[in-house]
Structure 1
Amino acid sequence: MSDLAPLDAALSGLIQNLTATQRRQLAREIAKRLREVQAKRIAAQLDPDGTPFTPRKPQQRLRGQKGALRRTMFSKLRLARNLKAESSPDSAVVGFVSRVQAIARVHHYGLRDKVNRRRSNLEVQYPQRRLLGIADREVELVGDLVLAHLAR
């Protein structure tokens, strides 16, 4: 995982010369692009460092229903309504909202959680699947977006 400190040190002086409106536009563009990149990475089921997620356990057939898997992992977590990009003149944030945030936290950190909140007391230890993160590719993307914004 990369740290944004070198990028921040290199570009902070240039960014401070922008007006608050220009910084807000830049932060909005960065957050939007990072949200797209994170959603694509989650769809590909890859950690930020490029390693594949731990595969899902095989699902049992439910009371005679046909079909193996119901859907791919995290197909609804990566939707725009659940994975939000927020920005201000001083920050760009990509994160999950409300109840989805709790589900994402369990999978991101590999915590224990109930399988079904309404009907079961069965708790399961979920494997760690890092949903959000900044890799070297994203650091380069942010640097390119800042430079492109400054060039305009």
Structure 2
Amino acid sequence: MAELDALEKWAGGLLMKLAAPARRKAMLDVARELRRSQRTRIAAQKNPDNSAYEARKARPVSASPLRDKKGRIKRTAMFMKLRTARYILTEATPQGVVIGFVGRVARVARVHQFGETDRVAPRGATYKYPARVLLGFTNADREMIRDILLKHITQ
């Protein structure tokens, strides 16, 4: 959070000199680019520090072929639906930007973001999920925000 405070101190005064519609346009550009970068990072299965997401827990091989499909976990990339624009909310106002998850998936995202404990199935066992940071700032994101804000301030 300290990095956001530093960014606000640096750009806040300059942005306040812009008219409200111009600030909103700048915030909208920042939100759009941040959502795009978060989506690509989630697709690459990387945390903001460029480390890979912790792999899923290995499941035991079922003895009965009839039970394989019922409770299986597809071994594809995690968070395929979660990273779509439908679930990642962006809101831009002249005062700031909000990026987050909406609806039921917000709970799933929170559990993975912070590595919380949750039930695997509605009345099933609980599991402590490893932290997989879905929303976070990379160094490239910080530079991108700075460049967008400078572009809008110098126009």
2:148 aligned residue: 145
One-letter code of the match for 1:95? G
Aligned-partner SS, 2:97: strand
Change (3 A) 1:2 1:132: farther
Q: Does 1:54 align with 2:54?
A: yes
Aligned-partner SS, 2:14: helix
Contact kept, 8 Å, 1:2 with 1:135, in 2: the verdict is no
Contact kept, 8 Å, 1:35 with 1:94, in 2: the verdict is yes
Q: Does 1:16 align with 2:16?
A: yes
Change (3 A) 1:68 1:105: closer
2:45 aligned residue: 45
Once the two structures are superposed, residues 101-126 of structure 1 have per-residue CA deviations (whole angstroms, 9 ceiling, x without a partner) of: 00001111111111122xx3211111
**Percent of aligned pairs with the same residue?**
38
1:70, CA displacement in angstroms?
4.4
RMSD (Å), alpha carbons: 2.0
Change (3 A) 1:71 1:56: same
Q: What's the TM-score once normalised by structure 2's chain length? A: 0.87
One-letter code of the match for 2:15? I
Aligned-partner SS, 1:92: strand
1:52, CA displacement in angstroms?
0.7
Aligned-partner SS, 1:41: helix
1:99, CA displacement in angstroms?
0.7
Aligned length in residues: 149
The equivalences for 1:30-109 within 5 A come to: 30-59=30-59, 60=61, 63-65=67-69, 69-109=74-114
Q: What's the TM-score once normalised by structure 1's chain length? A: 0.88
